[in-house]
Amino acid sequence: MAPIFLTPPTDPHTALSISAQANTFLSAQKTLWSSLPYPLSLFLNTESQEKWTSYENLFLALLRTGDHDNAYTCLEALTTRFGKTNDHILALQGLYQEATAKDKEELEEVMKAYDEVLKEDQTIFSVRKRRAALLRSVGKPEEAIADLTVLLDASPTDGEAWAELSDLYLEVGALEQAVYCLEEVLLVTPHAWNMHARLGEVLYMSAVKMEGGEQTKTLSDSMRRFCRSIELCDGYLRGYYGLRLTTSKLLEVLHDGKKGQVATSDPVTGDLAPPSVATVKKLNQLATAKLGEIVRRGTAGEKGWDGYSEAELKAAKALIDSDTQKIER
């Protein structure tokens, strides 16, 4: 099984790479079954986790690239293997119907189908997640929030649902609730460097709307989250980008005496004191140097530095250049 099929198509490049090999993959699977005569084919063991993971990833990639015919072929294979009433298959069938819906009326029919499934069993979380995603896509974030809240009441350790709920709260401007949800994600997956960075981003968004000691405290918390993300993943561009952004803002705040008294460590609440100016400067320099290295080597396409998207590299370069222009002025 080609390794690429075991990679979830979470970005356009991966989706295109996987879908480009759809015909080869499906033909190989068909040939495998037809290569032996009956009854010898009954003894052909093709069961493996990798096989069905590949089918699902290919299915998702084909939906993203609009190849609905081959996507349906993958869905049929999965349905035959796991059954029409399997919870996960019900969600994949709904996803296919969403992707192929031609108008709002057809999407409403998909929603009704989800409702019928949930009437029979409220605990089919995969379907409830699809229903929440559909509500969000049709511009009903409040209803999607209500759906995910019901799900999390029954399954409070579902990190994926907490992350989705955080995005929904962010969409409606409820930053405090978004932070809470991301903290719940990290209770479930404490080593998820991308979630530490995401929490850092939301804290930064909250901090820019604050003033005084509260702003300093929130910026400091944001900085620590970005530090944790790069501690867990040394080459994480988004972590270094956030660290550079946060430390630059924090240096402004710490140098501005008009921002009010800076809070100290609180033994009751457990809040940490803000870092020293010297520490923030060192972290800012570290982030700048690492971003520069990533941009330089990533743009050159050096081996081991080719996992960054063009958009990420451009954004990092723009951040470095913007501060350089400030210094020149």
Tokens of 181: 């949800």
Rounded CA-CA distance 4/18 in Å is 7
Query: What are the tens digits of pLDDT across the range 95-108?
Result: 999 999 999 999 99
Quickly count: other Cβ atoms within 10 Å of residue 31's Cβ.
Answer: 9
What does the pLDDT read at residue 328?
Answer: 45
What does the pLDDT read at residue 258?
Answer: 44
What does the pLDDT read at residue 166?
Answer: 98
- Per-residue pLDDT at 43 exceeds 70: no
Q: 268 or 226: which carries more pLDDT confidence?
A: 226
- pLDDT > 70 in the chain, percent: 88
As a whole number, mean pLDDT of residues 21-43 equals 67
What does the pLDDT read at residue 257?
Answer: 52
- Per-residue pLDDT at 35 exceeds 80: no
Identity of residue 328: E
- Per-residue pLDDT at 72 exceeds 90: yes
Query: What are the tens digits of pLDDT across the range 176-213?
Result: 999 999 999 999 999 999 999 999 999 999 999 998 88
What does the pLDDT read at residue 274?
Answer: 83
Quickly count: other Cβ atoms within 10 Å of residue 143's Cβ.
Answer: 16
Q: 52 or 257: which carries more pLDDT confidence?
A: 52
Rounded CA-CA distance 279/272 in Å is 14
Residues of the chain by 3-state class (helix, strand, coil), percent to 5 = 75, 0, 25
Which pLDDT band holds residue 329 (cuts at 50, 70, 90)? very low
Angle value at C-alpha 169, between 159 and 263, nearest 5 degrees = 90
Angle between helix 68-82 and 87-100 (nearest 10): 160
Rounded CA-CA distance 52/78 in Å is 7
Query: What are the tens digits of pLDDT across the range 277-287?
Result: 999 999 999 99
Rounded CA-CA distance 69/83 in Å is 20
Rounded CA-CA distance 1/141 in Å is 39
* Backbone torsion region of residue 211, taken as left when φ is above 0, otherwise alpha when ψ lies between -120 and 50, otherwise beta: beta
What does the pLDDT read at residue 42?
Answer: 43
Cβ neighbourhood burial of 221 (10 Å; 0-12, 13-18, 19+): buried
DSSP string, 262-318: PP---TTT-PPPPPPHHHHHHHHHHHHHHHHHHHHHHHTT-TT---S-HHHHHHHHH
